[in-house]
Amino acid sequence: MGLSVFSLQGKLALITGGGTGIGFGIAKAIVEAGGKVVITGRREQILKQAIDELGKGNFYRVNDITNKAALPELVLDIESTIGPIDILVNNAGIHHKAMAQDTTDEDFERILQTNVMSVFALTRECAKYMLARKQGAIIMIGSMAGLFGIDKVIAYGTSKTALTGMVNALVTEYSKDNVRVNAIAPGWIESNMFLNAINKDEKRKEQIVNRIAMDDFGQTSDIGNAAVFLSSEAARYITGVVLPVDGGATVNF
């Protein structure tokens, strides 16, 4: 077999929030591994620019994952006009930064609706086709905040922890039909937004730098490469894992 088990030749991946940041890093890695992608998001111009860079044979769909009623139509459209979805990457999500005592019920519910309820709705819809074909790989994008406590992200941390429970439960139901479900928990990944945020808060920056065991921040390609592995035949016997890609942050003291 050799390295061919890591190839995604002939595979199609649906990546939510695939136009920027980690989602785009995952899209690039899948394309480089021989796969094709459909990226979704709310901003068409961003998606168009991303597809220009990803190249021919890749597609985008303007979609808001919080509109759960539209998700069956989105999946049917991709399945019938582009091809069978072999890989689903649930990357789209939103953040809310506030102390627990300053987080309202509305704030909390908004995060859960996007980061948990919408993820489940889209997963269920894609799985309908995957289970019938007895083949598929589903990847949730979790977070360090789902693995250990971080202040000021009570709603976000809870939503990412919930994804671990979702992975566990889906494994018990999907595995017999050869549909694998895993999660990646990115550490602190370099982006303009992230760097701008931590450069304004020296105390927070010091906390983060001290937590990471390695000597730099991660790159979006690091998450992309992990997604390629978990989507590929090389990981055919791996399901139900939460893979930290974090430079050792989860275990470092």
Provide the pLDDT confidence category of residue 1 given band limits of 50, 70 and 90: low
pLDDT at 36 over 90: yes
The answer as to whether 250 is a domain residue is: no
Of 1, 56, 54, nearest to 30 (Cα)? 54
Query: pTM surpassing 0.95?
Result: yes
The answer to whether 218 touches 26, Cβ cutoff 8 Å, is no
pLDDT digits (tens, 9 = 90+) for 103-154: 999 999 999 999 999 999 999 999 999 999 999 999 999 999 999 999 999 9
In angstroms, the CA 104 to CA 110 distance is 10
**What is the domain-level CATH number for residue 86?**
3.40.50.720
What domain range includes position 85?
Answer: 9-244
The answer as to whether 3 is a domain residue is: no
Q: How many domains does the chain have?
A: 1
Strand ranges in 114-241 using DSSP code E only, listed in sequence order: 136-141, 179-186
What pLDDT was estimated at residue 139?
Answer: 99
The answer as to whether 227 is a domain residue is: yes
pLDDT digits (tens, 9 = 90+) for 76-93: 999 999 999 999 999 999
Q: Is 20 in a helix, a strand, or coil?
A: coil
What pLDDT was estimated at residue 198?
Answer: 86
pLDDT at 242 over 70: yes
The answer as to whether 2 is a domain residue is: no
Share of the chain above pLDDT 90, in %: 93
Length of the chain: 253
The answer to whether 90 touches 119, Cβ cutoff 8 Å, is yes
Of 42, 34, 169, 214, nearest to 114 (Cα)? 42
Token pair of 120, please?
């489940």
The answer as to whether 224 is a domain residue is: yes
Per-residue burial over 14-27, b = 16 or more CB atoms within 10 Å of its CB, e = otherwise: bbbbbbbbbbbbbb
The answer to whether 164 touches 242, Cβ cutoff 8 Å, is yes
Active site residues: 156
pLDDT at 232 over 70: yes
